[in-house]
Structure 1
């Protein structure tokens, strides 16, 4: 197996913990760096926006939030997504690497393996991330009644029950399965074009990740709008009707209030969020892979004997 294959599949001595640490770091950076844009996207997806929060564009949304609510409101709820993104992405990337290796048999260019691995890893990711998404999006809403993330969790649990944290799970899973399949397959295709030797190439990882994120974001936008409605229940809070339950109900309400264009509200903000976010995520993860590979290469070149390298042992004997 050549160096490129070793890098692509990670050193045989790397453990699931290595994958999980790399994935957690990538996920936390991905979500926290671009969080203000995610806040704008959530606000722009509202079905019945408050007159004070009726935004014409991304720039208009940023301006109004900062001017009338303060800079802190652009990152309100970030602790929830950081707390969820760490373990969710740890499971996500560890599962992806393991499944990709099992299905492809270690061979490069098997995009069916990439897509299937992305699908299975998404199941684990969403089980952890869905409750964090609910809290995050309720904190992001205009005039949110919750004082903090912990207060939001307590109020939701007390008033709506534990199932409220998974009311959008089916929709999120329906969105994320094609999202991640498109995401992973596009990334691997772009790597085949830009990085044929599959070595460590930061610029190709960043660009491939950005293109993959943008393609997946546009393709799954209608489901993201419905997921936001199910998470925030903002239509119910304003019209005082029963809870919106299920993807079909969410699709119907979006069309009733906004028409077909409602399914793509905030699409620019989502693309602007996903391009650097997925670029950062893949860049950080590939950096971890590179460092692990370099460490393994050094250990192979200079094996340790009784706590000393072979070279050091030879010198001491002379």
Structure 2
């Protein structure tokens, strides 16, 4: 749990500035932030954020971080890094980090801790269930990763939905119980898991492919016991790239549904999204744009997923190795 928490925080610290810069560039163009909400990702999770109109005041720092005007033109990612740091201070590159960590860190801890426990149990019992002597560790890891993701999404989804509604209503965390009571009273207990299906449809296949590919690389490179930091970083990036590419059509659908759900929550329309099933949306995109439409945005997705996966798994494995060595030292004493 401590190892996964360490990996989650390090990943967020490294990846948040890139998404902050991306959102600020979009805000400058006004095209992407002219809607009710937008997606913000800290390298671990996607989060719905409310778009507020630009407030013209003599104190730009009072504006929401994504709408804060910069008195100079931002020309590309590197230029935005430099100019935002100079104008607002380097801490501005980590704007929006705290509220996302409230959900992202617990989700990551639940996911990785569950994965480790399930992998141990499946290694012990799966061969007996399948009627064989052994089961390939990569298959076991893929299955454990998928099941762990289902559990993590199920546990965290109500809190993410409540956090989004709190943001929409501009209320504090102290009033969370009132939001929960209002949500259950008005829409029923099951409504706390709205958005669960599209999240699972993308994240579970991603987790299965990711862990299967990662463990297979460990076998091929003989790194099963104590993988090196260099190997875990490389293998994490490769596994994330493969999983991200194969599940991209599901990511397109999930993004579409998240935006639809967010616009409903932030506009407080009270009506459910009628955008059709996942299969119908996939068919619609394929008919209009073909295979290219299903894999649109592959480059920016991989540019975010690959380094995030590399940082997360290498930090996690390094922390596990550190604690394992400490344990051996105590046992020897």
TM-score (norm 1): 0.65
Which of the residues 10, 19, 30 maps onto 1:29? Answer: 10
| Unpaired segments ≥5 residues, structure 1 | 1-19, 303-318
Spell out the pairing of 1:110-129 with structure 2 (5 A cutoff).
110-129=137-156
Work out whether residues 28 and 85 of structure 1, in 8 Å CA contact, stay in contact via their aligned partners in 2: no
- Corresponding residue for 1:289? 320
Q: Alpha carbons of 1:200 and 1:115: their partners in 2 closer, same or farther (altered >3 Å)? A: closer
Which moves more between the two structures, 187-196 or 153-162? 153-162
Work out whether residues 241 and 305 of structure 2, in 8 Å CA contact, stay in contact via their aligned partners in 1: yes
- Corresponding residue for 2:309? 278
Secondary structure of the 1:192 match is: helix
TM-score (norm 2): 0.63
Q: How many matched pairs?
A: 271
CA distances 1:60-90 after superposition (whole Å, capped 9, x unpaired): 775898889x898875543332111221111
Which of the residues 223, 226, 240 maps onto 1:213? Answer: 240
Work out whether residues 17 and 93 of structure 2, in 8 Å CA contact, stay in contact via their aligned partners in 1: yes
Which of the residues 249, 270, 273 maps onto 1:244? Answer: 273
Spell out the pairing of 1:138-217 with structure 2 (5 A cutoff).
166-196=193-223, 198-217=225-244
- Corresponding residue for 1:97? 116
Which of the residues 291, 296, 299 maps onto 2:330? Answer: 299
Work out whether residues 100 and 113 of structure 1, in 8 Å CA contact, stay in contact via their aligned partners in 2: yes
* Residue 274 of structure 2 is aligned to residue 255 of structure 1: no
Secondary structure of the 2:226 match is: coil
Distance in 1, Cα, partners of 2:140 & 2:9: 26
| Unpaired segments ≥5 residues, structure 2 | 35-73, 126-133
Distance in 2, Cα, partners of 1:84 & 1:275: 21
Q: Alpha carbons of 1:24 and 1:149: their partners in 2 closer, same or farther (altered >3 Å)? A: farther
- Corresponding residue for 1:309? none
Q: Alpha carbons of 1:118 and 1:256: their partners in 2 closer, same or farther (altered >3 Å)? A: closer
Secondary structure of the 2:321 match is: helix
Shift in Å, 1:118: 0.5
Work out whether residues 237 and 310 of structure 2, in 8 Å CA contact, stay in contact via their aligned partners in 1: yes
The RMSD of aligned alpha carbons is 4.7
